[in-house]
């Protein structure tokens, strides 16, 4: 139901002074919206008393005055959401209004250090606009690989998210996909990058390039927005073990038996059916250890642990 206090109707808020000034932004305008948002994050419940304190009648504003008031209210609202770091607004009619990143803007966070993005250090999870961009990029890349006949599968934390949620882990910042190195020439975008060494932008605005950190590829949401899918070329060495040429020192970054990929299986992920190892649980426990699916944790617990943000974990 629509809340009149948040739609610009007059309101009287009764609360203790110490509670008001315990909020980080106690008197930020528009005050009713600001207080309602901060109260909801603290679990406070607001009791609305319609028409309990009616305002004295005022003469109607002129059309120009009404326009100026509406523009000022919109600007205050936009500034409030930016101050709070809110990226997605669900309107009373169910429509969504985005305030975060897009293809034309940079992503919402800077360089990831020690596998820990800035938002985790602030006690937040991945902004919804960034998750939206990651999902779009993942769907696009998976479709391109499938159409080209490239053998591929979800890797690492992306496979964990697929098995747990059918989606990206809510604090993740990229998507990982493994593929057979010998199949790279089958995908025209990967073949162009491998041949020229230069980034290639496809017709839908996704940017394919060779990663600077080693022998793998990266597909960005756009030239401006560097949210990305990492593509890891694996190959079989004698003995039926899958390996690759670049290892970044992550605990789960290990060789594994090719039998996990013969045949490939499938799993729901970001709204599509994605290729996966044929025994996802065994594959994940081989890489992460027993109980990996049931025991979520941030990428680098030495920097920040999930228990700091989720009290019962």
Q: Which tens digits make up the pLDDT trace of 283-296?
A: 999 999 999 999 99
pTM of the entire structure? Answer: 0.84
Residue with tokens 């597909």: 219
What average pLDDT does range 81-103 have in this prediction? 87
Q: Return the higher-pLDDT residue of 275 and 9.
A: 275
Distance, CA of 4 to CA of 33 (rounded, Å): 10
Collect all residues with Cβ–Cβ distance below 8 Å to 17 and sequence separation of at least 6. Answer: none
pLDDT given at position 38: 86
pLDDT given at position 50: 63
pLDDT given at position 89: 85
Q: Across the chain, what does the average pLDDT equal?
A: 90
Distance, CA of 288 to CA of 290 (rounded, Å): 7
What average pLDDT does range 143-163 have in this prediction? 98
The confidence band for 5, taking pLDDT boundaries of 50, 70 and 90, is: very low
Per domain, the residue ranges of the chain are: 2-48+61-86, 118-311
* CATH 1.20.120 for domain 118-311: no
Distance, CA of 177 to CA of 187 (rounded, Å): 14
pLDDT greater than 70 at residue 30: yes
pLDDT given at position 1: 44
Cα 165 from chain centroid? 14
pLDDT greater than 60 at residue 176: yes
Q: Return the higher-pLDDT residue of 274 and 45.
A: 274
The lowest-confidence range among 11-15, 106-110, 181-185 is 11-15
The confidence band for 82, taking pLDDT boundaries of 50, 70 and 90, is: confident
Q: What angle do CA 176, 290, 245 make, to 5 degrees?
A: 35
Task: Quote the strand ranges of the chain, DSSP E.
Answer: 88-90, 96-98, 152-154, 174-180, 200-201, 207-210, 217-220, 228-237, 241-243, 256-257, 265-269, 272-276
Instruction: Find the Cα–Cα–Cα–Cα dihedral 81, 83, 86, 91, rounded to 10°.
Output: -10
Nearest to 127 by CA among 173, 166, 81, 92: 173
pLDDT greater than 90 at residue 261: yes
What are residue 153's DSSP bridge partners? 178
Distance, CA of 115 to CA of 303 (rounded, Å): 9
The lowest-confidence range among 35-44, 99-108, 123-132, 254-263 is 35-44
pLDDT given at position 129: 96
pLDDT given at position 234: 98
What average pLDDT does range 55-82 have in this prediction? 84
What average pLDDT does range 133-162 have in this prediction? 98
């Amino acid at each position: 139901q629509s809340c009149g206090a948040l739609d610009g109707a007059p309101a009287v808020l009764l609360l203790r002074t110490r509670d008001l000034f315990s909020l980080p932004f106690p008197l930020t305008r528009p005050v009713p919206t600001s207080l309602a948002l901060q109260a909801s994050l603290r679990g406070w419940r607001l009791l609305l008393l319609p028409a309990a304190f009616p305002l004295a009648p005022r003469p109607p504003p002129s059309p120009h005055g009404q326009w100026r008031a509406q523009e000022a209210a919109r600007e205050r609202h936009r500034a409030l959401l930016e101050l709070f770091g809110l990226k997605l607004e669900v309107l009373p009619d169910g429509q969504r209004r985005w305030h975060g990143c897009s293809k034309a803007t940079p992503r919402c966070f800077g360089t990831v250090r020690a596998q820990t993005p800035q938002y985790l250090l602030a006690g937040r999870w991945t902004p919804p606009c960034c998750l939206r961009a990651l999902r779009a990029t993942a769907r696009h890349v998976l479709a391109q690989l499938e159409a080209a006949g490239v053998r591929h599968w979800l890797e690492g934390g992306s496979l964990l998210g697929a098995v747990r949620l059918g989606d990206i882990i809510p604090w993740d910042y990229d998507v990982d996909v493994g593929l057979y190195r010998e199949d790279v020439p089958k995908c025209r975008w990967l073949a162009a990058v491998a041949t020229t060494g230069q980034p290639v932008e496809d017709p839908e605005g996704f940017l394919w390039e060779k990663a600077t950190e080693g022998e793998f590829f990266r597909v960005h949401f756009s030239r401006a927005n560097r949210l990305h899918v990492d593509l890891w070329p694996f190959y079989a060495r004698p003995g039926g073990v899958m390996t690759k040429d670049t290892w970044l020192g992550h605990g789960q970054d290990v060789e594994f038996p090719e039998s996990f990929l013969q045949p490939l299986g499938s799993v729901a992920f970001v709204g599509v059916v994605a290729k996966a190892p044929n025994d996802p649980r065994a594959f994940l426990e081989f890489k992460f250890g027993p109980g990996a699916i049931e025991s979520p944790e941030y990428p680098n617990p030495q920097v920040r642990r999930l228990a700091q943000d989720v009290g019962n974990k």
